[in-house]
Amino acid sequence: MNTPLVPLAVVIGFTGWLTCSNVQAVQPQDLKDPRPGSEILDEPKLLPGDSFQTLQRLCSEVRSQTGSELMVVIVRSIDGADPQAFASALFDRWGIGGAAKRSGVLLFVSVEDQAVVGMLGSGIDTDERARIGDEILQNEIIGRFKAGEPVQAILQGAQAYASRVLGAKPSPKKPQPKSRAKAR
């Protein structure tokens, strides 16, 4: 028996944050679950390598500290399909947070559709967590997308879900070496 998932919010229509060419819509069954090697699927390769690794470290820390799962899925397009229904189908198909426990969070982004969905599994859903998840979307994610900062929107949103919804205490990001750009 499938228990309902809790969509935190769906945001459609913020403009100017990213454009991809040669868009091909996907269906949930078209996407390959990146686990066990990763909790991130970045189909359009939006995240630079260092951001991908930072996000992967965060997802791994969530799992080891809480037993819950944080997954991030970024696709080019769902061709105008309902993003909430798409994310829900993907959540169910992959069994995010464990098929029995359903103690996971999915941060789903469809670039060309300009849609973001935050979804809590029913195993961790409370009114308080749903309220916090909605705040994260409104205050941490949407503003960054509107400002044309999709990578920061995803990183900050995932960090907020990890700490405020799932209760993880992620380690601070290690300092990055300074760039050795050559003078021109």
Q: What is the pLDDT along the chain (184 residues), one digit of tens a residue?
A: 344 454 444 444 444 444 444 445 678 888 898 998 999 999 999 999 999 999 999 999 999 999 999 999 999 999 888 999 999 999 999 999 887 788 899 999 999 888 999 999 988 888 999 999 999 999 889 989 988 999 999 999 999 999 999 999 977 665 444 443 444 3
| pTM of the model as a whole | 0.81
Which pLDDT belongs to residue 149? 92
The residues spanned by each domain of the chain are 6-15+40-165
DSSP-assigned states of every residue in the chain: -PPPPEEEEEEE---SS---SS--B--GGGSPP-TTT-SEEETT--S-HHHHHHHHHHHHHHHHHHS-EEEEEEESB-TT--HHHHHHHHHHHHTTT-TTT--EEEEEEETTTTEEEEEE-TTT--HHHHHHHHHIIIIIIIHHHHTT-HHHHHHHHHHHIIIIIS---PPPPPPPPPP-PPP-
Q: Which amino acid is at 93?
A: R
pLDDT for 63? 93
Q: Rounded distance, CA 85 to CA 78, Å?
A: 11
> What pLDDT is recorded for position 173?
60
Contact (Cβ atoms closer than 8 angstroms) between residue 108 and residue 119:
yes
User: 6-15+40-165 adopts what CATH topology?
Assistant: Diaminopimelate Epimerase; Chain A, domain 1 (3.10.310)
In the beta sheet, which residues pair with residue 109?
Answer: 74, 116
Confidence at residue 24, expressed as pLDDT on a 0 to 100 scale: 58
Can you read off the two tokens belonging to residue 44? 């359009």
Q: Counting Cβ atoms within 10 Å, is residue 64 exposed (0-12), middle (13-18) or buried (19+)?
A: exposed
Cα 178 to Cα 98: distance, rounded to the nearest angstrom: 40
Contact by Cβ (8 Å): 20, 146 = no
